[in-house]
Amino acid sequence: MSGGIVLLLVNCCVAALFACSYFVVARWNGGDRAVMAFSAVYTIGLVTPLSELAIHWAPHPLLMITSYAGLLLSLLMMSVALALFGRRTIPWRSIAAIAAGGLALRFAIWGGKRDELLYELLYQLPFAIALLLGASVALRLRHRKLLRYGLATFLTVIAVNFLVKPVASGILRSGTTAGDYADSAYALYSQGISGILLTAAGLFILLVVTETTVRRHLRASETDPLSGLLNRRGFEQRATAMLAAAGEGCRIAMIAIDLDRFKSINDSHGHAVGDEVLRVFALILEENAPWESLIGRIGGEEFAILLRDATEEAAASLAETIRDATANHRDDGIPPFTFSAGIAVREADETLAQLMRRADLMAYRAKDGGRDRIARYPDRPLPVAAVS
């Protein structure tokens, strides 16, 4: 068995493993379309080495077409998968143009002399263009720069390799017929280098997809599905990290918030309205709190805000701003509602649990004092315009 055939078999196995790996990750991620598209990339790509193996033993024009079309379509599918993965617009027009142009070019050079530079260049050109399209899609992803430029670089290098192949074909020779290809020295080069590059790109993308999937699941586990804010677990984990990273002299303030008479809203208007109240209040918090603050829904109608580099006065001012925004909200179908809040500033070596306990204590005292008010630690209620 020649080395070219061995590499074709190896590339078949690698493509199948990648197709299966992406499929498993997609199923694990609830049938994610982007990950399923990456599986399709390697499933379609598997057609090419299988066709080349079949050509070796039973040359047929149809197999030559499937070999060429399988590779071209799999490389174009990479752009689809990347666009879906990055939630970008799929460049369907470019994909269709490259597919149609590539297939038309293949038929136009049908019967050309193998290993001639012009023939081989025209044969490989659509593959390179398809990969460069994928690189351009990768550069438009919203992910980290390392990811964007890493993917774009991988795809560009592979595109350059396809443009180098015509020169290598002229030097190493691919055989006088398509059936001779698998036994040629050029097949060793082509399948070896292409296999290494495509495997490296596949591994890189698989790692990125897996990391992104894990991050999404982790984010979902830390997010309250109703309000979209951090849940108690996510809030406490991130707040603990914030406290640990805060240096000496960095003041951390906590605002504990409890909606007033929330049970009566559910009883009088129904739980659907109660849920809408929670969503509206979450939006009020997000619109008014500083972007670097942590906001969480830590209980049924209980919320918390953790502020970095904030004095007691700054926290109290923010709480008043949120109270005014809550009083002035105008949402159809949402009854008026208020909240009571407590404020505490972290003391030296105080844990998150201790800080939250003091802020909660102030919130309870605000409720005992008549609700719709804000209390600071030690107990210093702010002036209240109206008490519910």
Domains of the chain and any CATH numbers:
3-221 (1.20.1070), 232-376 (3.30.70.270)
Tens of pLDDT, residues 271-325? 999 999 999 999 999 999 998 899 999 999 999 999 998 989 999 999 999 999 9
Structure confidence at residue 383 (pLDDT)? 45
**146 contacts: CB under 8 Å, gap ≥ 6:** none
Query: How does pLDDT run across 33-65, given as a tens digit for each residue?
Result: 888 999 999 999 999 999 988 888 888 889 999
The reported pLDDT for the residue numbered 374 is 92
Measured CA to CA, the distance from residue 190 to residue 362 in angstroms comes to: 72
* Alpha carbons 104 and 117: distance in angstroms, whole number: 19
For the annotated catalytic residues, the residue numbers are 301
Per residue in 200-252, pLDDT (tens digit) is: 888 888 888 777 777 777 777 788 989 989 999 999 988 999 988 887 678 89
Q: How far is the C-alpha of 316 from the C-alpha of 282, rounded, in Å?
A: 18
Given a cut of 90, whether residue 338 has pLDDT beyond it is yes
Closest-CA residue to 33 (of 108, 7, 41, 372): 41
pLDDT in the model for residue 143 = 63
pLDDT at 378: 59
DSSP secondary-structure letter at 248?
T
Q: In the predicted model, what is the mean pLDDT of residues 99-117?
A: 93
Compute the distance between CA of residue 336 and CA of residue 324 in angstroms, rounded to an integer: 12
For the sheet containing 294-297, what is the strand order? 294-297, 302-308, 252-259, 339-345, 374-376
Return the percentage of the chain with pLDDT > 70, whole number. 96
Residue 354 or 180, more confident? 354
pLDDT at residue 232 in the model: 92
Type of residue numbered 151 = L
Task: Count CB-CB contacts under 10 A for residue 248.
Answer: 5
Q: What is the arithmetic mean of pLDDT over 106-134? A: 94
Predicted confidence at residue 52, as pLDDT, reads 87
Phi, psi of 230 (to 5 degrees): -60, 140
**DSSP state, 349?**
T
Q: Which residues contact 378 (CB under 8 A, 6 or more apart)?
A: none
